[in-house]
Amino acid sequence: MEPDLGLLLNAIVSGLLLGGFYALATMGLTIAFGMLDVVNIAHPTFIILGAFATYLLSMQTGLDPVLACIILLPLFFLFGRYFYDLYYRLFERRGDSAISGLAFFFGILFVFEVSLSMLFGPEQRQIDVPYAWTSFSIGLVDFPLRMVVPCLLALAAFAAITAFFRFTFIGRAVAAVGQDEEALRFVGINPLRIKRLAFGLSLLMAGLAGGGLLLIQPVDPWSGHTFIGRVFAICILGGLASMRGTLVAALLFGVLENMTATYIGPAWSPAVAFGLLLLTLAVRPQGLFAR
Amino acid sequence: MTQRFGKLAVRAGILATMALTALPAVIAQAAEPIKIGFSMALTGGLAGNGKAALAAMQIWEEEVNAKGGLIGRPVQLVYYDDQSSGATVPGIYTKLLDVDKVDIVMSGYSTAAIAPALPIVIQRKMLFQTLLGFNMNSEYKYDRYFSMIPAGPDAIHNFTKGFVETAMALDPKPKSIAIVALDAEFPKRAADGLKDNLKNTGMKIVYDRSYPPSTVDFLPVMRAVQAAKPDIVYMVSYPVDSAGLVRAAREVGLNARMVGGGMVGPQLGTFKAAMGPALNNMVIWDTYVPEKTLNFPGIDQLLAKYQPVAAKLGIDPLGFYVPPLAYTNMQILEQAITAVGKIDQGALADYMHKHTFKTVLGDVKFDKYGEWAEERLILVQYRGIKDNNIEQFKQPGTQVILYPKQFKSGDIVTPFNK
């Protein structure tokens, strides 16, 4: 392939935009898996649930899908909060959360997929908004809005959640609960309450990612399968419990995938991206930004 | 008195006529049903097409039973969800044959369901009509296999034959082509067939890459294609990827002369509506579109019955792709059983090999390996799509047939970005 500056810049920028969406999809998992130690393998299915809820509200009201998704965020939060209660009663309270919990979320994945299929049918759904077909250019680089909007959502969510963890007492408690529950009890905080709140936040982020995904591609009840490997890889690469690590790892994943797709061939993209994960873990097993 | 007798005679006559008319149906209800067993993708990634196929088969079941059944027996579909996974299929067919004791087995939707069922069906020497399996009998050469995909005897090459012929008829002749294929069995076979068809055309392959099924962003793929400056772009993909490829092609302003190929997705109503004007000028394979040249007897009635059912089930709202093929399969079975007069697997297979069937997709005849004797895939170009309203796709002229000659309804428009 001939050297082409436009091609190179577009590969990097489209990778960053894609990575932005990957960050949005992974931040919720970083809270659940990285901070709470809950192996929520159904996280991508919760993203799809968010996409379908957004689709439903948007189609019924004519609202923009991003706005519809933001309106639904409290519901995603409450759903997550009460869902964690169920998980806690069934597994964590009995000290039975590792393998049984994984099996539970695996089951949940199938239950939600089949339920979505029964409710909405198996067809793909997408909301057609005029800006999803619009691109703007700066110099040689194109910016398709269907990728820009989810990336902006990711950056806004990253800023909000980082500020929450850093500057609020509850946020710091969420960051601490996975590390030392007893310490939390010493300062008079109920760890269960904090975990409920954290899992609520995790599903809130999944819902937001669902709204973003609806702009990028059509979704069907099984679309989550595409993301299972990626979100866990990004979470681990970022250092499990680090939001900053998640963002950097996601951007790295996106850029590597798109650079490989452009210059070597898309078939190599997953191999190169997951190769990076293996290499990083060999050199730095705790991930990029582990504490 | 005479007047009263006359009225009584008229009433008796009406009753007798009603009884005689209803008699076959009554007899059919009383007789043991002809059980037709199959697996079907009712959940999982193939469920959209699986449910559409089932809906068409159920329309046929209702129609036949309303007419009094086949050879004096009602028909009954016995089916189980294969979850779009080949792993469930052998168990389903074993149950159908050993527990449900079905009289006839047919395939579920697509290669994924056909391949695992074939060894069991062959072992039991059953008739096997399949639905949209690509070149499945080339290794087995099973003489009771009948394929419902209009790709003809040499499916691998026929699938891309129309595209290459149409491209080579452009003036001036195209000199270069880019090939983008999903990394899966069917797209890879299609791409191999395309490369064979391109030999001796003088066309140079300037981009030839496959992409993995997990690809989310197709912009880098399309930018690399654009950078290779091909005259023609051939893509073979599955629905979610097809949507990504169409969007990316528009976003990079792909300036090839002819773009499209073997994409799966544009055949479906929801896809057509979602993509809307982005489909304009794309040249894509299909099996049926509502052009006047394809207006076979019964197709309009089938779609009129199917579309309200589809609206309730949330499946392909137009039903141009899988339902006519699934229904055609049933029509062929119906005609064969009626002619043979009994359920005899060998006799039915013999009949199917020797006769031409009148169906909603026109005349169908099979070759010795059970593929359609003549290739009848069509190549359509999307034209004048104004918005995302699905109704416009029901009108002739929006999907102009370019190939084959006997069904052609218009000439190609180039370039893609016109």
pLDDT tens for B198-242 read 998 999 999 999 999 889 999 999 999 999 999 999 999 988 899
List of chain A residues whose C-beta atoms are within 8 Å of the C-beta of residue B315: 121-123
Residues B353-373 have pLDDT tens digits of 999 999 999 999 999 999 999
Task: Return the pLDDT at B281.
Answer: 97
Region of B374 (left: φ > 0; alpha: ψ -120 to 50; beta: rest) is beta
DSSP structural state of residue B173 = P
- Among candidate residues A102, A75, A77, the one with its CA nearest the CA of residue A87: A102
Rounded CA separation B303/A99 (Å): 50
The answer to whether A12 faces chain B, any CB pair under 8 Å, is: no
- Domain residues for the domain of A80 are 2-283
The mean pLDDT of B106-125, rounded to a whole number, is 95
> Which 3 state secondary structure label does DSSP give B55?
helix
Rounded CA separation B140/A166 (Å): 66
List of chain A residues whose C-beta atoms are within 8 Å of the C-beta of residue B223: 7, 10-11, 14, 262
Contact A236, A245 (CB under 8 A): no
The answer to whether B86 faces chain A, any CB pair under 8 Å, is: no
Higher model confidence: residue A89 or residue A25? Answer: A25
The answer to whether B244 faces chain A, any CB pair under 8 Å, is: yes
CA angle (A154 as vertex; A149, A159 as ends), nearest 5 = 125
Mutation target for A interface from B217, B237, B264, B307: give the one with most A CBs within 10 A.
B217
List of chain B residues whose C-beta atoms are within 8 Å of the C-beta of residue A263: 224
The answer to whether A92 faces chain B, any CB pair under 8 Å, is: no
Task: Return the pLDDT at B2.
Answer: 47
Number of structural domains (chain A) is 1
Rounded CA separation B303/B318 (Å): 8
The domain that holds A11 is classified in CATH as 1.10.3470
Contact A148, A14 (CB under 8 A): no
Residues A66-78 as b or e (16 or more Cβ within 10 Å = b):
bebbbebbeebbe
Q: What are the backbone angles phi and psi of residue B386, rounded to the nearest 5°?
A: -95, -35
The answer to whether A115 faces chain B, any CB pair under 8 Å, is: no
- Among candidate residues A49, A90, A26, A71, the one with its CA nearest the CA of residue A228: A26
Higher model confidence: residue B38 or residue A286? Answer: B38
- The answer to whether residue A289 is domain-embedded is no
Rounded CA separation B9/B21 (Å): 18
Task: Return the pLDDT at A96.
Answer: 67
Q: What is the mean pLDDT of chain B?
A: 92
- The answer to whether residue A290 is domain-embedded is no
If you search the block for the tokens 């070759």, which residue do you land on? B367
Task: Return the pLDDT at A101.
Answer: 82
DSSP structural state of residue A157 = H
Please tell me the pTM assigned to this model. Answer: 0.86
Q: How many residues in total does chain A contain?
A: 291
Task: Return the pLDDT at A1.
Answer: 54
> Which 3 state secondary structure label does DSSP give B414?
coil
Structural domain spans, chain B: 28-154+296-364, 156-291+379-407
Task: Return the pLDDT at B78.
Answer: 98
The whole-angstrom distance between B17's CA and the closest CA on chain A is: 44
The mean pLDDT of A79-101, rounded to a whole number, is 84
The mean pLDDT of A3-24, rounded to a whole number, is 94
Task: Return the pLDDT at B11.
Answer: 56
Mutation target for A interface from B109, B110, B218, B219: give the one with most A CBs within 10 A.
B219
Q: Do A117 and B210 touch (CB under 8 A)?
A: no
Locate A5 and state its tokens.
Answer: 């500056």
Residues A217-252 have pLDDT tens digits of 989 999 999 999 999 999 999 998 899 999 999 999
Task: Return the pLDDT at A157.
Answer: 97
Task: Return the pLDDT at B3.
Answer: 52
Q: What are the backbone angles phi and psi of residue A249, rounded to the nearest 5°?
A: -65, -40
Rounded CA separation B162/B379 (Å): 7
DSSP structural state of residue B38 = E
Q: Identify the helix (H) or strand (E) that includes residue B315.
A: none
- The answer to whether residue A291 is domain-embedded is no
- Among candidate residues B163, B158, B403, B292, the one with its CA nearest the CA of residue B411: B403
Q: Do A1 and B224 touch (CB under 8 A)?
A: yes
Task: Return the pLDDT at B411.
Answer: 96
Other CB atoms within a 10 A radius of the CB of residue B333 amount to 24
Locate B131 and state its tokens.
Answer: 């639905």
The whole-angstrom distance between B366's CA and the closest CA on chain A is: 32
List of chain B residues whose C-beta atoms are within 8 Å of the C-beta of residue A123: 48, 268, 270, 314-316
Assess whether the region B28-154+296-364 and the region B156-291+379-407 belong to the same CATH fold: yes
CATH fold, domain B156-291+379-407, is Rossmann fold (3.40.50)
Locate A114 and state its tokens.
Answer: 């089949």
The answer to whether B209 faces chain A, any CB pair under 8 Å, is: yes
Other CB atoms within a 10 A radius of the CB of residue B189 amount to 19
The CATH class of B28-154+296-364 is alpha beta
CA atoms within 13 A on the CB side of B409: 21
The answer to whether B389 faces chain A, any CB pair under 8 Å, is: no
List of chain A residues whose C-beta atoms are within 8 Å of the C-beta of residue B276: 128
Locate B244 and state its tokens.
Answer: 């990504």
The answer to whether B250 faces chain A, any CB pair under 8 Å, is: yes
Residue A124 has pLDDT above 90, yes or no: no
Task: Return the pLDDT at B15.
Answer: 46
Residues B185-199 have pLDDT tens digits of 889 989 999 999 999
List of chain B residues whose C-beta atoms are within 8 Å of the C-beta of residue A146: 247
Lowest mean pLDDT among A36-50, B3-17, B172-186, B212-226: B3-17
Q: Do B214 and A270 touch (CB under 8 A)?
A: yes
The whole-angstrom distance between B308's CA and the closest CA on chain A is: 15
Higher model confidence: residue A5 or residue A202? Answer: A202
CA angle (B360 as vertex; B354, B366 as ends), nearest 5 = 25
Q: Which residues pair with B35 in a beta bridge?
A: B76
The answer to whether A15 faces chain B, any CB pair under 8 Å, is: yes
Rounded CA separation B408/A39 (Å): 56
Q: How far is CA B320 from CA A215, B286, B317, B326, B334, in A?
A: 27, 9, 9, 11, 22
Residues B299-347 have pLDDT tens digits of 999 999 999 999 998 899 999 999 999 999 999 999 999 999 999 999 9
- The answer to whether residue A115 is domain-embedded is yes
Task: Return the pLDDT at B27.
Answer: 47
Q: Do A123 and B210 touch (CB under 8 A)?
A: no
DSSP structural state of residue B411 = -
Q: Do B243 and A261 touch (CB under 8 A)?
A: no
List of chain A residues whose C-beta atoms are within 8 Å of the C-beta of residue B53: none
Rounded CA separation B20/B13 (Å): 11
List of chain B residues whose C-beta atoms are within 8 Å of the C-beta of residue A223: 240
